[in-house]
Amino acid sequence: LEMTEQLTLYTAKICPYAHRVELALEEAGVDYTRFEIDLENKPEWYAPEVNPASKVPAIAYGGPKVAPDHPSPDSTKIAESLVLVEFVADLSGKLRPADPVLRAKGRFLIDAFSNTFAPAFGATIIRGEPVEPLLAAIEKVQGLLSPEGYALGPEFTFADAAIVPFFARLEVLLKGDYGAYEEGTGAKAYETLQSDPKFARYRKYLADVRARDSFQKTFHEEYVREKFATRHANARAARKAAQGSH
Amino acid sequence: LEMTEQLTLYTAKICPYAHRVELALEEAGVDYTRFEIDLENKPEWYAPEVNPASKVPAIAYGGPKVAPDHPSPDSTKIAESLVLVEFVADLSGKLRPADPVLRAKGRFLIDAFSNTFAPAFGATIIRGEPVEPLLAAIEKVQGLLSPEGYALGPEFTFADAAIVPFFARLEVLLKGDYGAYEEGTGAKAYETLQSDPKFARYRKYLADVRARDSFQKTFHEEYVREKFATRHANARAARKAAQGSH
Ligand SMILES: [Ca+2]
């Protein structure tokens, strides 16, 4: 697809929100310039010149062709991952089924995902709360997937781009037992996800998405695993130090 | 606009989320059957046969033409107000500007509204927390409006449908001093909103929307005011009773 305007994506390999937009751009076949933001050491120009919220993802669209680290004031800056996924769909005319009912099912699925999986993910991984609500959230989202194929049926759509980056990262976290929970909790939950017949649809769905070029090009599993491992080791050391000080 | 499928909206005059969808349907010129749900006494068939979350708004789309209080299992049931506003836009081809950048601005505005105004509204009105963050949220949303016309410019769009029902209800609440805050707080904030030059754009915007047929047809101001007044009186009596019991 030939775009009339330049499009620069500010992103970070670690971030599932940014990954949504990379998947959307790859699947839509949109030409774009990718710029990695180091989230632990953001360039000083990023917040004032690209995204005042200082988060990824963000897109600079239109304006002159410039180096990504010298963004032009003449491009339009857009932020928020779901806004950007819809933007890529609007730009390209791809990623969304033609049927308004299917589009509504996709948006409802994303809303349910945001309201169930996303908070449960943070609760379990970051705060070490029980893993059961997280597994229940996966079951709930799984129940909203089309019985076969991708989230809305045979075609990959915006709904897949919105949810898969989180599933993929969760598997890395649980498999490595990286999280604020008691040791062994993540590894056990990972085993459940891989073997319990209850999660058969989830497994097939994720395997189908993993097989796609767009996913392989945009998910840097070993990089993500190492980052999570380092964060986990640091967080555990900090918790031990805090306990020792009592 | 002639629809090929029947569309039934389950709604409630009091509810700003449901009002979003009524505005969208009226502005898009979609034919629909309106069914009022009494939120304090929901029909027993509503959750099992229309919306398992038991909330309004919900739409039953397609299937045979039936009485709204005998919904058909053959219609598609869709819930969540923002999903429904986009659904009406997809069905009708109206409500959204053609330009992808403007659409993204609309979705970003709605997201900012959901993350700032909506929680501040609940905090002030329901929990009686200070009114300043709510006024700051209005200023923030105001800053995202097009300098003239409606939220995205000269045409009424999905972004207007999404935010105006909340502004309209807030004005009724503050004007009547209905809220969990100290007496006089709401009335004073209302006065600020009506006279402070800082809120000039907000005032003009809301006046422009109020003048539209769609708004006048769908906003039942006196009904809403009476409901809020009753709720407020009941909540105040409950608080006094709770204090008396100490
Ligand atoms: Ca939401």
Distance from the CA of A70 to the center of ligand 1, in angstroms?
Answer: 34
- Residue stretches of chain B with pLDDT short of 50: 1-2
Contacts of residue A21, Cβ cutoff 8 Å, sequence gap at least 6: A9, A11, A57, A59, A81, A84, A85, A88, A161
B27 CB within 8 Å of a chain A CB: no
Give burial (CB, 10 Å; 0-12/13-18/19+) of A220. Answer: middle
Please judge whether A111 and B78 are an interchain contact, meaning their C-beta atoms are less than 8 angstroms apart: no
Which helix (H) or strand (E) is B78 found in, with range? strand B76-79
Cα separation, B216 vs A172, in Å, equals 53
B162 CB within 8 Å of a chain A CB: no
> CB-hemisphere CA count at 13 Å for A116?
20
Give the number of residues written for chain A.
Answer: 246
Distance from CA of A107 to the nearest CA of B (A): 6
Q: Which of A80, A90, A108 sits opposite B79 (nearest CB)?
A: A108
B101 CB within 8 Å of a chain A CB: yes
Whether the CA torsion B58, A21, A81, A166 is positive or negative: it is positive
Cα separation, B69 vs B49, in Å, equals 10
Model pLDDT for residues A168-200, shown as the tens digit of each residue: 999 999 999 999 999 999 999 999 999 999 999
Q: How many CB atoms lie within 10 A of CB A229?
A: 15
Residue B4: its pLDDT value, please? 76
Task: Report chain A's mean pLDDT, rounded to a whole number.
Answer: 96
Contacts of residue B18, Cβ cutoff 8 Å, sequence gap at least 6: B9, B10, B11, B12, B56, B57, B81
DSSP chain A: ---SS-EEEEE-TT-HHHHHHHHHHHHHT---EEEE--TTS--TTHHHHT-TT--S-EEEESSS---TTS--TTSEEEE-HHHHHHHHHHHHS-SS-S-HHHHHHHHHHHHHHHHHHHHHHHHHHTT---SHHHHHHHHHHHHHS-SSSBTTBSS--HHHHHHHHHHHHHHHHHHTT-SSSPTTHHHHHHHHHHH-GGGHHHHHHHHHHHTSHHHHHH--HHHHHHHHHHHHHHHHHHHHHHHHT-
Q: Tell me, what's the ipTM?
A: 0.94
Q: Which of A78, A100, A105 sits opposite B91 (nearest CB)?
A: A100
- pLDDT at A3 > cutoff 60: no
Distance from the CA of A110 to the center of ligand 1, in angstroms?
Answer: 9
Cα separation, B223 vs B220, in Å, equals 5
Residue A2: its pLDDT value, please? 46
Q: Which residues pair with B35 in a beta bridge?
A: B10
Flag whether the pTM goes above 0.90.
yes
C-beta separation of A21 from A67 below 8 A: no
Model pLDDT for residues A90-142, shown as the tens digit of each residue: 999 999 999 999 999 999 999 999 999 999 999 999 999 999 999 999 999 99
Distance from CA of A108 to the nearest CA of B (A): 6
Residue B112: its pLDDT value, please? 97
Confidence of residue A242 (pLDDT cuts 50, 70, 90): confident
Distance from the CA of B82 to the center of ligand 1, in angstroms?
Answer: 9
Q: Which of A116, A64, A41, A55 is nearest to A84 (CA)?
A: A55
Model pLDDT for residues A201-214, shown as the tens digit of each residue: 999 999 999 999 99
Residue B2: its pLDDT value, please? 46
